[in-house]
Chain A
Amino acid sequence: MAISESASREPQTSQQTSQQWLENEPAVEVVGITKRYGQVAACDSVDLVLRRGQIHGVLGENGAGKSTLMKVLIGLVVPDAGQVIIDGRPSVITDPIDAAAKGIGMVHQHFSVVNALTVWENVALGDQDRLNPQAVRNEIGDLSRHYGLDIEPNAIVGTLTAGLRQRVEIIKCLRRSPRTVILDEPTSVLTPGESEALFEGLRRAVEDEGMAIALVSHKLDEILGATDLVTIMRRGQVVANLPTSQSDAPGLARAMVGRPVSLRSERMLADRPLADRPTQAERAGSKSGLPKPVQKTASLEIRSVYAQGDDGRSLLNGLSLAVNRGEIVGLAGVEGNGQRPLGDLLSSLLPVSQGEVRVDGHPIVCGKAGAMARARISVIPEDRHDSGCVLEMSVAENLFLADPTLVSRRGVVDRRKMMDRAQGLIDRFAISCEGPTAPMWSLSGGNQQRVILAREMAHAPRVLVAAQPTRGLDVGAIEYMSSQLRQAAEEGVAVLLISTELEEILDLASRLIVLSEGRIVGGMDRDQVDIEQLGLMMGGAGT
């Protein structure tokens, strides 16, 4: 039944439905929702109204309670108090199936697709009727065309890039023809082009079909560009509710954090002319009194590395790069061009077929567990759930998982010492959690990221590789993470910043290199950046 319903989703049908909804009629109302976790009130009598035909932005710092609120709406979290009213009727949402039946669908912050299954199997997961592969594949085709989300239905999801995996998730949600859609940080893994396409599709759904959309995001320009209304949450409470047209980025940031924040884009404007600005290396050099080409041998050096995946696909294709002490090198490139294999290489997860990696001139064995870490290469991994942390273990255990020697004597963990040290790191990195023994899964996404940063910095690394380090962070936390990376560089660490966000690289790096199809296709100094040239290189066109 679901199949025939959504298979008939043609442009004409959506025209018809457009007459059936009233402009700005409430689709979902949340009244006084409260949810506590121990001492923490994740949501504290929150009110929110999602109206048909509107995109409603929800902003807030890490841990503000956004995801918790959204999970109440799809029945994954049972609130302690409060009510959800759907189409005017008070409703109790018991689980995601129930939510889908009541017209609410969600695209999750952390992927909820099964990597071992194909795209169409994932999309069909959770239906009730008989399995009809061809019908599902056809529907995926229809939805792809309608919303501009191209995807191959027979691909195994685990082989897709993060952007495509999320596309699967969005299609899965839209296929149930929801009247209300919740998107929790949908663009954190998308390229700018992909995000734009997504918002175009959403706008169409809102205007033609009267969908109500809640969009959780940390990206202010995204909220400003895509939403009609914004709600700002802080520490579990709604602190502001205003039409997007009456707000601007500094105002939103201030409301969100509760203090003025220096925004990356503003800083960049203020920093012009660029040539006047000292580079990180210069700053680091002047501060610690090091000569300018800091050392003859680079701290991290990768020499024409080739590596293949299990399926024989080439992942790294003669990649060479060097990072000196005290500099931040930004590695730009479109997602899926070798960022992940490079991160894996430097986490000892990827053996190479040719080439070598050196730290301070000493060659390091590739693909041998722990070899890179022993050479004091620290990696903040791209996907914190895949390889970043163990969700079932406590914050303290996660902090010292990679190197228990810091808190143990003759192989026996000293629990007191571990707790003390963990508390120290929690304070230093301002991790908001119940304490060192809180399980990792109870932390919000942004705070999990801080734990990983703390863990990597606790090792006094020589080389710090940060892969998409601010993905999913709020503006305050981004500011913090950036200052930590700068500080690390100033202390003489060689920092390699892998990011698909050009802004981030332009803000932090003193030198840029561009990755395309598994190798470096070019580079330039921060002060001589030519955006157009950079774009060409990222597309694999420049030389």
Chain B
Amino acid sequence: MGALLDIIGNEVTYSSAMRFAVLLLFAASGEWVAERAGTLNISVEGMVLAGAFGSAVGYDLTGSTVAAVFVGSVAGFLVSTIQANLSHRLPADQFVVGLTINILVLGLVGFLDNVLEPTVVRASQLTIPVLASFPVIGPALFDQPWPLFLVYPLVPAMWWLVYRTRWGLEVRASGEDPNSADVSGIHVNKRRRQTIYVAGITSGLGGAYLVLGAVGSFADSIVGGRGFIAIAAVIFGGWTLRGSVAGCLLFGAVVSFRLSLPDQGYDGINTEFLSALPYIVTIVGMALFAHRIRPPAALAKPFLRGLN
């Protein structure tokens, strides 16, 4: 009990929870868009890793964190073009493609990392005056490495894109009822490809944030399955952006909780159990809310004209 109170009252807990949550937020916000269009995009893991490595190389070459973040998002985008075009131009199964991409990126990055050995630094800290001195959570939200601040406009931008633009309307229609969307004159597969590009870019940014903002160095094990946790966050959130954000924050807290326990000298709780916690929470959440949450009706279903 004492341990819990220590952790809850401690600013460091929130900073570290935020660090984990932000990576998930980057990846999940793009993933959410892709899923709303009907793709369960499991290559998000590979996209994050490519973004992380890209930003490391970018920094190594230019010495600029801004350029590094840019290169990271481009790397994520490049991976997404493979997923998008194989699964929504050629009729390759999206899961097979995604799985292959994840393995491919992991292998390629491991190899290139050995060859290039990029060195990275942590991006400079940005402190928002006044807000950062807010007790307990102020530093976590407003005194952080600068790439973290990209997530604040990103999330509302995704919401706006999906709910307030014509493009977003067509995306939602493509994910719910591709045949009707097609009959209405929408290029379903084009929209689906575009949403995967969006996921690639945001995941790439997430990877860059991970390297430059959270860790300050690169290793090929740096993502370690957190792309999949981002997918779990979207599912946990019932395919709403609000829910996905809540999922990211919750899962971020769980991960940081796991890491901070041993630091503070408590090791009574099984850390493996804690690693599995996000998935357990997702499954329990799905079981509890299954009658209320509804995935996009055409999620993970390929669209071919004529099947109507």
Contact = CB atoms under 8 A, between A and B. Distances in A.
A474 B183 CA distance: 25
A388 to B, nearest CB: 15
B5 interface: no
Given A116-B297, A131-B166, A441 B185 contact: no
B186 A126 contact: yes
A125 B176 CA distance: 13
Contacts of B179: 112
Q: Name which of B166, B181, B306, B307 has the most chain A CB atoms within 10 A of its CB.
A: B166
Contacts, number: 65
Contacts of B57: none
A129 B179 CA distance: 22
Contact of A113 (B169, B172, B180): B180
B166 A116 contact: no
Interface stretch (A18-26, A95-103, A256-264): A95-103
A110 interface: yes
Contacts of A130: 166
Interface string B174-217: 00110111111110000000000000000000000000000000
Given A96-B185, A97-B185, A112-B184, A441 B306 contact: yes
A297 B305 CA distance: 51
Contacts of B182: 96
Interface in A124-150: 124-131
B170 A125 contact: yes
For chain A, the bracket of interface size reads 20 to 34
Given A96-B184, A116-B177, A441 B307 contact: yes
B242 interface: no
A104 to B, nearest CB: 12
A532 interface: no
Contacts of A131: 164-166, 169
Interface in B253-308: 291, 296-297, 305-308
B291 A125 contact: no
Nearest to A130: B166
Nearest to A124: B169
Nearest to B173: A114
A211 to B, nearest CB: 20
Interface in A149-174: 172
A126 B297 CA distance: 19
A129 B176 CA distance: 22
Contact of B185 (A126, A310, A392): A126
A117 B172 contact: yes
Given A110-B308, A392-B307, A115 B186 contact: no
B85 to A, nearest CB: 21
Contacts of B181: 114, 125
Contacts of B297: 115-116
Interface in A54-103: 76, 95-97, 100
Interface in A218-253: none
Interface in B65-93: none
A116 B184 contact: no
Interface of A: 76, 95-97, 100, 108, 110-117, 121, 124-131, 172, 310, 391-392, 441
23 contacts: A76-B183, A76-B305, A95-B185, A97-B185, A112-B183, A112-B184, A114-B172, A114-B173, A114-B176, A114-B180, A115-B176, A115-B177, A116-B176, A117-B169, A125-B170, A125-B186, A126-B184, A130-B166, A172-B184, A310-B291, A391-B307, A391-B308, A441-B308
Interface of B: 164-166, 169-170, 172-173, 176-177, 179-186, 291, 296-297, 305-308
Given A112-B183, A121-B173, 13 more contacts: A110-B308, A114-B180, A117-B172, A117-B176, A121-B172, A124-B166, A125-B173, A125-B181, A125-B184, A126-B185, A126-B186, A127-B166, A131-B165
